[in-house]
């Protein structure tokens, strides 16, 4: 299976690339800075240079051609302002979903955020972030050609992963290690029965594989 990850140099994406490469998948990560390429190669992924803020749907669809799954894990980052929350967290996600649908990619995961809501009110940067994420999620869920899953982690931390999570439609507030977010994404990719679900993720007491099987109804 070939899997293409948008935001390929992100902290979650690099972890996911390593996991998928170990499992024998062919992994490509989209980056906008060619100097990041060696980090992706070290993780076992092929770097693909593309700026999702300026690319066309046709160009990105070409990158996705032949892939069986796509993961949107890009983000404008904590130092970015309101404008880039719109162009990356919303705009790039919409573009990537449309391109995946055009390329015939069925399985599609998007890394969102707990609290994402297109109707979220407020004028701060984080408010704009939650609105952008909510709008992106809403758009993905309208793509009839995609078998989508929306994953909404709680506060992200760099503590080592425990492999124990709470994964539910409404998991409540909390934090979750990036290691465990990547592990859940890898399991979701291998569990097509989770298509059509919007899931919240925080640290918990259930092993990752069991948590994913539980939400899939297995």
Give pLDDT, residue 128: 95
Q: What is the mean pLDDT of residues 30-40?
A: 97
Spatial separation of the C-alpha atoms in residues 125 and 106, rounded to whole Å: 33
For the cut 80, the answer to whether the pLDDT of residue 66 exceeds it is yes
State what percent of residues in the chain have pLDDT above 90: 96
Spatial separation of the C-alpha atoms in residues 153 and 56, rounded to whole Å: 29
- Whole-model pTM: value is 0.96
For the cut 80, the answer to whether the pLDDT of residue 218 exceeds it is no
Q: Which residues contact 2 (CB under 8 A, 6 or more apart)?
A: 25, 26, 27, 28, 66, 67, 68, 69
**Residue from 22, 23, 17 nearest 46 by CA:** 17
pLDDT digits (tens, 9 = 90+) for 72-112: 999 988 888 999 999 999 999 999 999 999 999 999 999 99
Other residues' Cβ atoms within 10 Å of the Cβ of residue 133? 27
Beta strands in the chain (DSSP E): 2-6, 26-31, 46-49, 69-72, 107-111, 147-153, 155-157, 164-168, 175-177, 197-203, 206-207
């Amino acid at each position: 299976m070939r899997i293409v990850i948008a935001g390929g140099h992100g902290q979650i994406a690099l972890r996911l690339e390593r996991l998928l490469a170990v499992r024998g998948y062919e992994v490509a990560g989209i980056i906008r800075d060619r100097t990041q390429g060696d980090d992706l190669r070290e993780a076992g992924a092929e770097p693909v240079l593309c700026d999702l803020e300026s690319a066309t749907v046709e160009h990105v669809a070409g990158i996705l051609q032949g892939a069986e799954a796509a993961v949107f894990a890009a983000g404008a980052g904590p130092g970015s302002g309101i404008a880039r929350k719109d162009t990356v967290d919303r705009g790039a996600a919409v573009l990537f979903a449309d391109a995946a649908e055009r390329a015939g990619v069925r399985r599609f995961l998007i890394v969102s955020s707990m609290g994402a809501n297109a109707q979220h009110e407020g004028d701060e940067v984080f408010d704009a972030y939650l609105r952008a994420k909510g709008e992106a999620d809403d758009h993905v869920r309208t793509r009839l050609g995609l078998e989508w899953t929306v994953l909404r982690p709680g506060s992200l931390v760099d503590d080592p992963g425990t492999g124990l999570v709470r994964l539910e439609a409404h998991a409540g507030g909390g934090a979750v290690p990036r290691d465990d977010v990547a592990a859940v994404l890898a399991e979701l990719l291998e569990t097509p029965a989770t298509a059509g679900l919007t899931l919240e993720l925080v640290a918990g007491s259930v092993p990752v594989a069991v948590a994913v099987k539980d939400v899939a109804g297995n």
